[in-house]
Amino acid sequence: MQLRFIVPKANKRSRERDRFLTKAMGACWHEYDPDKPVRNASFIGYVCKKCNNFLFTNNDFSTLEDFIKLLNWAHGQETLSEFVSQFAPKDFVNEKKGPRTRKKFADALYSLLSSSTRRQKKYAQRRRT
C-alpha cells in the first residue's frame, strides 16, 4: 500500500495564520534572508535574524510534521481542551480527510485565538482612556 498525502498550497491567509499560531505557541517566527542560505555538503538552510537558530523554513501547519507540534501545544493548554475535544485525532492522519481536517483545526484555532487577542486589546484600550 502506498500512502499519498495532499498538502494544500500556502497562501497569504494560511501564512498569516501560521505566523500567528507559531507566536501563540511561544516559538519564533523566523526572519531570514532567502538570498543568503547557509550551505553544507548535505543540506541548505538559513539563520534566523531574531533567534540566531538554524532553520529550513518556518512552521507550515498544513504539513503533518508541523501540525503535530500545534496539536500537542493546543492539547497542553487547559483553556483549549474543549476546542481540541471537538476533533477526532485519527482524522488528522487519514489519507483523505487529513489535509482538510488539519486545515479546519488550524483555521478554527487561529480564529478563536485571534478574536480573543483582539478583544483583549480593545479592553486594554478602553481601560487606558
Q: How confident is the model at residue 121, as a pLDDT? A: 58
pLDDT for residue 5: 45
Rounded to whole angstroms, the maximal C-alpha distance in the chain is 63
Please state, in angstroms and rounded to a whole number, the distance separating the CA atoms of residues 43 and 6. Answer: 24
List the beta strands (DSSP E) in the chain.
38-39, 44-47, 54-55
Per-residue model confidence as pLDDT tens digits over 69-98: 999 999 999 999 999 999 999 999 988 999
Q: Where are the domains of the chain?
A: 12-27+59-128
Q: Tell me: pLDDT of 36 over 80.
A: yes
Sign of the Cα torsion 84, 90, 92, 98 reads negative
Q: Supply the mean pLDDT for the chain.
A: 86
Please count the residues of the chain.
Answer: 129
